[in-house]
Amino acid sequence: MAEPEFTATGVRIGKRLRSLTRAGQVRISDGRLELLTSYGSEIDSAPVQAVRASKPWFAHDDRALADVNGTRYTLTLGDHDPAPGEPGPPAARRFIEAVREAAGRGR
């Protein structure tokens, strides 16, 4: 298995007003985006070309939206990148950039 292109842990993943996990994982590896629970169970996954990642208009900087298989998920990542060697999720901006780069869409 290849090294993941993007990994974030401690991510709150929600669908509409319902929280699915408060410490989930987001991973982009081998051209697929995976949303996982804190136990590693798959919530949803799709080829990264079929995923749309964006920033909500009126939300904090730590939020991102991901449309996966027709379902919109709200991801709460970090509001800033953690210091090197420090635990914590990367910024939402990095997640959006990682999805675009993995899909070959650039910026």
The tens place of each residue's pLDDT in the chain, 107 residues long, gives 556 789 998 999 999 889 999 999 999 999 999 999 999 999 999 999 999 999 988 878 889 999 999 999 999 997 667 777 776 667 888 999 999 999 887 65
Does 81 fall in a domain?
yes
Does 63 fall in a domain?
yes
Does 53 fall in a domain?
yes
Structural domain for 40, as ranges: 6-105
| Residue 2: predicted pLDDT | 59
Q: How far apart are CA 57 and CA 2, in angstroms?
A: 34
Are the CB atoms for 43 and 89 separated by under 8 Å? no
DSSP state of 62: T
Does 72 fall in a domain?
yes
CATH of the domain at 27: 2.30.29.30
Does 50 fall in a domain?
yes
Does 1 fall in a domain?
no
Does 91 fall in a domain?
yes
| Residue 65: predicted pLDDT | 96
Does 60 fall in a domain?
yes
Tokens of 18: 């319902």
Counting the structural domains of the chain, the total is 1
